[in-house]
Every structure is written in C-alpha cells, then in structure tokens.
Amino acid sequence: MQLTRLPSPRLRPFVRLMWASAPAEKPAERPGAREHVLPTGGMHLVFRLGGPPLRLFSDDADADGFTVGHAMVGGARSAFFVRDVSIQTHSVGVMLHPGAARALLGAPEDALAECHTPLDALWGADAGFALEQLQGAASLERQLATLEALLSARLAARAMHGLHPAVAQALASLSSADDDGQAVAIRELVKQSGYSHRRFIELFRGMTGIAPKQYARMLRFDRVLGQFVLDPTRPWVELALEAGYSDQAHFNREFLAIAGMSPQAYRRAAPASSRHVQV
C-alpha cells in the first residue's frame, strides 16, 4: 500500500513529493535480504513508523552493516547504496527540491550528501517528537497531513531560503538539455552564472549536494531508467544513445558505477520499482 501526493502550495518550492507506505498484510521476514537503492540526484527525509531501524551496508561484501535509525535524511547521492530489506517497513517521507535543506533541516545540501544522517543530529529532540506524532496518525492520509504540518511549522519558524539565482538558472539549463538528450558543458554554466568556476561549483554543491557534472550524470541516468520503465524490451544501446551517452561502453561503465550492477543484471532482476533492486 502506497500513497503519494504533492505538498501544499506553501511547501512546493521546497518539497517535490510526499509519500507514505505500509505493508498490505503482516510482513514476512526474509533473513539477509538486501537491495540496491539507485540514486535520484535528490534528497529524502524519511520516518520509519514500524519495523526495525534503517540498516545500511558499505557494499555488497559488508557482512555487518550499520544502523542509522528510524528518522533520517538521505542526502543526494551519485551512486547506489545497499540497505537491509529483510522485513518490510511502514514509512512516510518527502523528496526535497534542491535548496530546501537549509530551510527545512538547518544544514546545506553538501554537508548531507553521499550519506544518511540521523534526523536528531539536525533537529535535536524535535526529531523524536515528530516521530511520535507520525506514529500516532492512524492512516496514510493522516500521516501525510501530519508530516506536512510539521514541515510547514519548521518553515514558518525559520527565515525563508530559496535557490541561488545562478544555481536555479543552471538547473533549468541542465533539465532542458536533458529533455533534448544533449549535454551542457559545465564551462557554459559557469559563463552564464557570471561567477568564477570555483565559486559556481561551491554554490551549486551547496544547493544540490553534488557537483554540476555529477548532477548532469544523474539526469542522464534518470532519463534512461524512465524510458526503460516505459518499454523494458528496448535494447539498452538505443536508450543510451537517446539519453546522450557516447557509446555502449560508456553507458555500461556509467550504469555499473551508479547502480552497482550491469545493465544486463538490472534487466534480469526485473525490479518492481525502478530504483529498488533486490540483490
């Protein structure tokens, strides 16, 4: 069972999507089950309302892993991470827009990138209070409404922050180029910004968590996955060339680096959700 919706107009500059999910029935245990979670290029705020705390592994060979907690921030990533899925969990969360972390979390995106951060490290005791409020909500709809109210209250209590104009312009250029399957040279983005190369990279990373080159890489990868979902029978080489990869070898290297598996292994896995692949 999963419910997704857009946030209220006040939150939309900061929150891309809200979601809540729960097992349809009592979840069965699958000892040792793991999955690769593929990156979206964005940041997520997640509360686990039932089941064990989030447990991650440094790679497929990591036998022990480490526990993050029941409330956490998943920073923007440039490659997959490995998590425990031995028990299905009941969760509620949001996907954030670039530039939202400082307003809602109190930290810049680049400080949270490429890792998961326990929410109490950012919100203090408010993280535990929020988790209790959400656990007391009886339905997926009420959980989304409660989370929306909590985020709106945090936004009202802090000074409003938005995207830096130079970063907003760069993101628009990258998204437009991605739609056309064409790459935008980073030097062009720097030139458009009017800043030095170093300062522009700092601004972009501070608002998105990752560098412009990595962000463009995520957009291209996202384009391939989106087209694959629409037609899983299409050859990878067609999808790769349409998305702007120079050749099959380039695509294979990028896919392996981002997903932790080859395109062929991904197709064989036939994931029910394009970014959650059991291994």
233 and 261 housed in the same domain: yes
Beta strand pairing status for 71-74 and 116-118?
antiparallel
Q: How confident is the model at residue 29 (pLDDT cuts 50, 70, 90)?
A: confident
Q: Is the pLDDT of residue 171 over 80?
A: yes
The pLDDT assigned to 67 comes to 97
Q: How confident is the model at residue 61 (pLDDT cuts 50, 70, 90)?
A: very high
121 and 194 housed in the same domain: no
131 and 184 housed in the same domain: no
147 and 81 housed in the same domain: yes
The pLDDT assigned to 163 comes to 78
Q: Is the pLDDT of residue 181 over 70?
A: no
Tens digit of pLDDT for each residue in 99-130?
A: 899 889 999 999 999 999 999 999 999 999 99
Residues 146 and 36: their CA atoms lie apart, in Å, by 30
Number of domains in the chain: 2
The pLDDT assigned to 28 comes to 75
Whether 279 maps to a domain, the answer reads: no
Quote the mean pLDDT of the chain.
Answer: 92
Domain that holds residue 257: 165-274
240 and 111 housed in the same domain: no
238 and 269 housed in the same domain: yes
Q: Model-level pTM?
A: 0.87
Last residue of a domain, one of 157, 175, 191: 157
37 and 80 housed in the same domain: yes
Q: Is the pLDDT of residue 161 over 80?
A: no
